[in-house]
Amino acid sequence: MLDTTPTSAGHVLAVLRAEGPLTRQELQERVGVSRVTMVERLDALRRADLVRRAGHRESSGGRRAELLAVNDTGLTALVADIGQSHATLAVTDLRGTVFARRDVWLSARHSPDATLPMLVGEGRSLLSGSGRASTLRAVGLSVPGQIDHEAGITTAPATMREWTGVRLGDPFVAAFDVPVLLENDANALALADYYAMGRPEATVVGVKVGTGIGAGVVIGGRAHRGETGAAGEIGHMRVEGSDRRCSCGRRGCVAAEASGQALVRSLRPSGARSVDDVVRWVSEGRREAIEAVYSAGKLVGTVLATVVTIVNPRYVRLGGEVGVLPPFVEALRATVEAGAHASALRKLDIAASQLGDRGACVGLSGLVADEMLSPTVVDALCGRAP
């Protein structure tokens, strides 16, 4: 599948990305090519704007050798995390630094016909305001639900029914003329924590509990998507002892009991109207909210104990408005510790994501970086460069 040679420009960039900044000579030695070949490769990479100067290194002979690095700070991604009630757009570099950000509230049951053109417009204005429009390399989009990556089509959760069968990327390709990458929102979150931890050689499970519930698994630096993009869809697994009707049409799903939406419903008699109310009530110490969130953490923990036993991850990171609440984290941790195989718990580290509401944007910009700086894409770019 990889039509790149071990000494191609794409490969040189991959070495520089993994080990840089390096001098030309160091890079030449690492890749194992002649000086002439390396000069050629670097010329091609410079023409495609993929390398930058990164200062100097004093050599033993007193000469200063120029250091080279991947131009991940000079290239730009436009990312958007589209949820059930709001969307976050951001302009980032390929390191995940956020230069501009906008949060957009969406009406209940918003439709792609109205929302996608609006997000394209917001993205355009955000890009031009950031002054980085000319270095845009790709767009990254995340949504809840499954993505058919070959066809670029989404299967949204039942609460976003209008978003099923949508070619999400098309309006962005038409507007910006760059590749558009799609990812499930929980996968984007798991990737974000993986990147933020410095790309550890470890498996990371991300669990997102916001309006809905989803999980993502990062193995070997990539989101494990499964055969139909359904990997990690834990929200609609059945739990013992529940018969509550779920938005998906079945009964007894985890999401019907433990999602943000379910918490709002169970706290409605006390006056809760939104997930924000639930979050605020927990921070104010209101007992009914804390108890409801604790129960939700226990339920998701029951499912997660199975996930942990099967996947045996090093890190579980919790995100979403509900997922980071202390009673949720505490209940989930206790339930996983009581339910998972002892050996799978030995190195397990469960914590709330430290990325806050930046999570999906960081995950998407990393995804864009991995794709746009991959040897195959870089070789295609360098082949095309004048």
Residues that bind Zn ion (CB under 5 A): 236, 246, 248, 253
Alpha helices in the chain (DSSP H): 9-19, 24-31, 35-47, 112-130, 170-176, 185-196, 254-258, 260-266, 275-283, 287-311, 326-339, 342-345, 359-372, 375-384
User: CA–CA separation, 325 vs 345, rounded Å?
Assistant: 22
Choice between 91 and 303, CB closer to Zn ion: 303
The least CB distance from residue 341 to Zn ion, in Å, is 27
The least CB distance from residue 236 to Zn ion, in Å, is 4
- What's the number of CA atoms in the CB half-sphere (13 Å) around residue 253? 22
Two tokens at 341?
Answer: 């195989």
Contacts 24+ apart (CB under 8 A), 4-9: 4/375, 4/376, 4/379, 6/31, 7/31, 7/32, 7/33, 7/37, 7/41, 8/41, 8/375, 8/379, 8/382, 9/41, 9/44, 9/45, 9/48, 9/378, 9/379, 9/382
DSSP class of residue 373 equals T
The least CB distance from residue 245 to Zn ion, in Å, is 9
Choice between 258 and 282, CB closer to Zn ion: 258
Choice between 85 and 259, CB closer to Zn ion: 259
Choice between 171 and 212, CB closer to Zn ion: 212
Choice between 8 and 266, CB closer to Zn ion: 266
Choice between 7 and 295, CB closer to Zn ion: 295
The least CB distance from residue 251 to Zn ion, in Å, is 8
The least CB distance from residue 160 to Zn ion, in Å, is 13
User: CA–CA separation, 191 vs 189, rounded Å?
Assistant: 5
The least CB distance from residue 249 to Zn ion, in Å, is 7
Choice between 58 and 240, CB closer to Zn ion: 240
Query: ω before 21 within 30° of 0 (cis)?
Result: yes
The least CB distance from residue 262 to Zn ion, in Å, is 10
The least CB distance from residue 237 to Zn ion, in Å, is 9
Name residue 352's beta-bridge partners.
318
CA 218 to each of CA 94, 142, 210, 357, 365: distance values in angstroms, whole numbers, following the listed order: 19, 16, 20, 19, 16
Number of Cβ within 10 Å of residue 132's Cβ equals: 20
User: Do 316 and 344 form a contact (C-beta atoms < 8 A)?
Assistant: no
Choice between 213 and 382, CB closer to Zn ion: 213
User: CA–CA separation, 27 vs 33, rounded Å?
Assistant: 9
The least CB distance from residue 239 to Zn ion, in Å, is 10
Q: How far is CA 379 from the centre of its chain?
A: 25
User: CA–CA separation, 300 vs 318, rounded Å?
Assistant: 11
Choice between 228 and 270, CB closer to Zn ion: 228
Choice between 205 and 253, CB closer to Zn ion: 253
The least CB distance from residue 257 to Zn ion, in Å, is 10
